[in-house]
Structure formats: C-alpha cells, structure tokens
Amino acid sequence: AFRTGNAARLDKHAARLKGHLLEPYVLYWQLSPRLDKAAVEEVRAFLAAHRDSPLSERLRNEWLKSLGKRSEWELFNAELPMLVGDDVEVTCYALQARLRINASETLPEARPLWFVARGMPDSCVPLFEALVAAGMLSNDDLWTRVRLVLEAGQVSLARRIVQGLPAGQRPEAGVLESIASNPAGYLERQQAPNLKSRAAREAVLFAVHRLALTSPPQAARHWARLEERFSQEERAYAWGMLGYLGAKRHDSDALAWYARAGDLSDLQLAWKVRAALRELNWQEVLAAIGAMTGSESAEPAWRYWKARSLKALGRVEEAEELFKPLAIEFNFYGQLALDELGGRIMVPDALYKPGAEAVRAMSQHPGLRRALELYRLNLRPEANREWLWAIRGFDDKQLLAASEVALRHEIYDRAISTADRTVVLHDFSLRYLAPYRDVLNVRTSQLALDEAWVYGLIRQESRFIADVKSRAGASGLMQLMPGTAKWVAGKLGLKDWRWSQVTELDTNVSLGTYYLKHVLDALDGQPVLASAAYNAGPGRARAWRPEAAMEGAIYAETIPFNETRDYVKRVMANASYYAYNFSQLVQPLKSRMGII
C-alpha cells in the first residue's frame, strides 16, 4: 500500500499491527509521504521514539530535504546536526542556508561540488549560480567538469553543461554524440590547422579517450599526429589518460605514455604501479607510489608493493620495516608480507567467548530483534540496515555476542561480517564460518577440489546464504547464473532441470563445484585463474594472462575489473584461513597463488 501510494489501504492494514515488533515501519510508511504537511511535533516525536532504528535517520534525511526545498532554514539548521550520514542533496541545502548569511565563507566550500563527474541534485544549482555570479566558476572550470563527465561516459550531461558557455564557444550540435559512436572516424577527419578553438580541442581529447577505451595504440597514433596544436597542459592530460587506459588493457607501451604525462591522479598512479609490476620495473613502482597522496600510499596494497620494490632494489632493511607492521594485518597483503618475512600463517587465539547470558541479553536487543524478524520475512535489505545500525557502536565483546546471535539463527553473512569488525578480541571460527561441511566435503572430495579454496570462494560469493540472489541474476550458495546452471545441469544429466532448483543446497553445490572444477582444469589447475574465471568468465581470465610467466600476486593485482581484482585477492586470502581452521597444511599465500 505504501509503495503504490494508497494511504487509505495503508491505514486499514496499519490498524491491525498495533504493538507489532515492526510497527515502526508501519508508522514510517504512514508519515513519510506527508512530510511536507506534517506537524513538527509529530515528526520529532517519531524521531525521538525510534532513534534506535535506521528509520530515524531515513526520515530525518527526507525531512531535511523537504525543509530545504521549502526554505525553512531555521528548522533545517536545528535538525541538521542530528543527521549521521552524508547526502549531497542535504549538503547543498546546508550550504544554501549558510550562503544567505556569509557568502564569502560558503562559496569556497561549495566550489568542489562543481568538479563531480555525475549529475548533481537541484539543491546544488543555486550554489553553482552563485559561484558564477561571484566570478568563481570560469569557462576553464566548466571545461574541466565536461572532461570529467565525458570520461565517465555521460555524454548527455556534458551536452547540458556546455550550454553554460557563450554561444560561440560551444561544441557543434551533435559532435559529442558523433564521437561517442565513432571516435576513430572523427579523429581520422581532424587536421591540426582546424584545432584553434577550445571546443574543437576538447572534442579531440574526448575522441582520444573514447577510442583508448577499446584501442589505446590506435588512440595514441592519432594523438601523436595531432598533439602539436595543443597546449602543454592538454598534452600532459592526454598522455596521462592514455597511460591509464593502456595500463588497464595491459598495453606494453603504457609506461612510455605515462612518461610523457604531467601530474597524475591517485587512480592513474595506481595503474602506473600495476603497469610497472607487469614489467617488473621496480624503480617505476617505487616512484609511482611515492607520488601518491598520503592517504592513498597508506593503503595495504601500496605499502606491500613499496616494500617489495625496496627489497628488489637491494634495500632490504627498509623493506622489512614496512613488512613487519603489515604482517600483523589480517588481509591479503598481510599474508604476503608475512611470507616475505618467513613467517607462517596463523590466526589469533579467541581470547573471549560470550557466555550464554551475554548471548541471551544480546538476542533481546531491540534493533537485532527487528532485524531477525525482517530476515524471517525475507526483507533482507531492511534487515541488513537494522543490523548495521544496531551494532554501529558495539565494542569487541558486544560484536562477538551479536555474531553468536546471528550464527544461532543461521544468518551466516551477519555472523561473519559482525565478527569481522572486532579490533582486539577476534574469533576466526566466526569470521570464517564453515556451514554445510557434510554436503560440501562430499563434493570437494569427489572432484578433488581444495576444500579450503572452495570455502574461501563461497564466503566471498554468498557468505553462505543459500537463497541469496544478486543484482546480476546469480543465485544460491555458489551464485550461479542461469546460463551456467543450465549448461552444468546438462553435463550432469539432471532431468527436468528447472531454474527454481538453483537455491536448493545440494543442487547448487553440485552445479557450482562441477563448474569450478571445469574452469580449474581448463586453466592449468591454477586457482587464481579459476577464481578470476568464476567471477568474470574464463575468456577474460585467459585474456589477462601475461606473455611471460609472472607471480600470481602480480596477476591478481593487475586484473582490470575492480570487483574481480578484489574478489580474487579475498578468495585466496580466505582459503589460507580456512586451511588453518581445517587443520590442513597451510602453505604460504605466495605459493598458493603460484606462477601464472
């Protein structure tokens, strides 16, 4: 009734839910559609009564947008400090409220909002207009945003932005769409003498970027022919962009293109590191990490590869000083650093186990009770929000007790992710749960699959939620796509196969482990390649293979897809911890990753 906007039907059903554990949701659904007209006292009463639920944050966010839209600034300013999260629409309203009082202080804070590669909410428009009126947004700033937007592939948004330029300085009608559909054709028609205007040069830069997405060498050839009519800044920008896109496609010329670039963003530097890793150019690895911002270079990935480069360059003591603190972190790079120091993967002792009373008390927590009821009703997104809101301030002991509550209700994903949050007191039996071993062990034994690796993969795929469905259409414990499930069902001779069977535990495990064995055998028995193939497809995993042999960690680090790169690293790190928990022989992660 709420979703269809049927207030009368909603009120009718709401009357039957008085006192229900989930009544706050009913009250929210009744109040949310009429926020513009609701009395202040009514809204504040709801927020006060349900401050222990994410519904309070959700309603306050909606209310602030309503107040900002109606320019009720006094009430807006009174409620704003209670908002926990960030929302760009609310942020722009907050800046609008301050703009009325102190424009000189507010406008510099508003200016960074302009340089965003996506459409911005209407609440930001008055800020942009004020920046233009104050002379704080120039035509160069407009072109900078056009570049960002075009790099993000948002041609229609770029077309709207350029309307802010004087009439004679805009690109010709339809030129951006023409480039988007055929960048090579556009570049072939361009001649250096015709590139005097900013619009013409920016169009060429966009065409070079668009072509480089699929063919960096072809784009570089066109650019080399035309670059003489461009400024030094424009040349540096183009070569940096070519280096970045070339590195993502593992082009051997990427480092040469980077060498002709100017200042690089952290994202471009990250891919310069990856290009250098594939070439084993440790000096370039070190230089690129050194050029990153402090926050980026502090990431575990770059601390590890910096240490590896120092070690390769003979600066062993400096390398070990970086490896030592990294080796006590429980992540992919922590395991690799431990390998470099000659250590053996272990898990910390469980120094605290919540007793029966602690678990019983935690099971009565109002937020967790609501979450459990929402899980029972298969309202998983709402349940996850309730759970996360409830545990956001928990200490380690409370987190472990909450994890036990989730485990006892077989909500394995919450049990794992909650135990994953502890800072000092850890329990790796909760972090690396192993349900369904009676089913999985049979299949892994039959197919001669490494049980620890299979568990590491399932932990990343579904966190052991048997009926989970992804936005991409994958289903079940091993997250099978319809086409894959149908193909494997045929191979296994399953008669009367129906897609509805995919979430049945035995069926899903049978199909998933068969397919995993298939890709493992097809990819030389290499679990890194098979993990990449399971996530992104065997064709891509093969295409990312190098011409010369390289260590598996470098292969994983240079996977072009962010999701797959993270996935492979997590699966392989998970496998080490499962091997330890299963009392298997724990091999160093570097050895487990092997040579590709």
Report d(CA 245, CA 213) in Å as an integer.
6
Phi-psi category of residue 64: left, alpha or beta, with phi > 0 → left and psi -120 to 50 → alpha: alpha
Backbone φ and ψ of 572, nearest 5°: -70, -40
The Cα–Cα gap between 539 and 163 comes to 43
Backbone angles phi, psi at 370, to 5 degrees: -65, -40
Three-state DSSP class for residue 595? strand
What are the b/e assignments for 460-479, b being 16+ CB within 10 Å? bbbbbbbebeeeeebbbbbb
77/39 Cα distance (integer angstroms): 17
Q: What is the residue whose two structure tokens read 């990343």?
A: 460
Q: Which of the residues 382, 461, 551, 557 is marked catalytic?
A: 461
Q: Which of 224, 278, 284 is nearest to 248 (CA)?
A: 278
Q: With contact defined as beta carbons under 8 Å apart, do 266 and 292 qualify? A: yes
> Is 74 annotated in the active site?
no
Unique residue bearing structure tokens 């109040």:
31
What is each CA distance from 55 to 4, 139, 366, 414, in whole angstroms? 20, 43, 13, 20
Q: Are 528 and 535 in contact (CB under 8 A)?
A: no
Closest residue by Cα to residue 142 from 184, 563, 333, 150: 150
CA distance 529 to 555: 9
Query: Would the CA dihedral through 508, 509, 514, 516 be positive or negative?
Result: positive
For residues 398 and 419, what is the distance between their CA atoms, to the nearest angstrom? 10
* β partners of residue 475: 469, 480
Contacts of 198 by beta carbon, 8 Å cutoff, 6+ apart: 139, 143, 169
Helix 380-391 with 54-69: angle, nearest 10 deg: 100
Residue 218 and residue 191 in contact, taking contact as beta carbons nearer than 8 Å: no
Dihedrals phi, psi of 475, to nearest 5 degrees:
-140, 155
DSSP one-letter code for 116:
-
One-letter identity of residue 127: L
What single-letter DSSP state applies at residue 193? G
Q: Which two tokens stand for residue 50?
A: 């349900």
Q: Any idea which residues carry the catalytic annotation?
A: 461
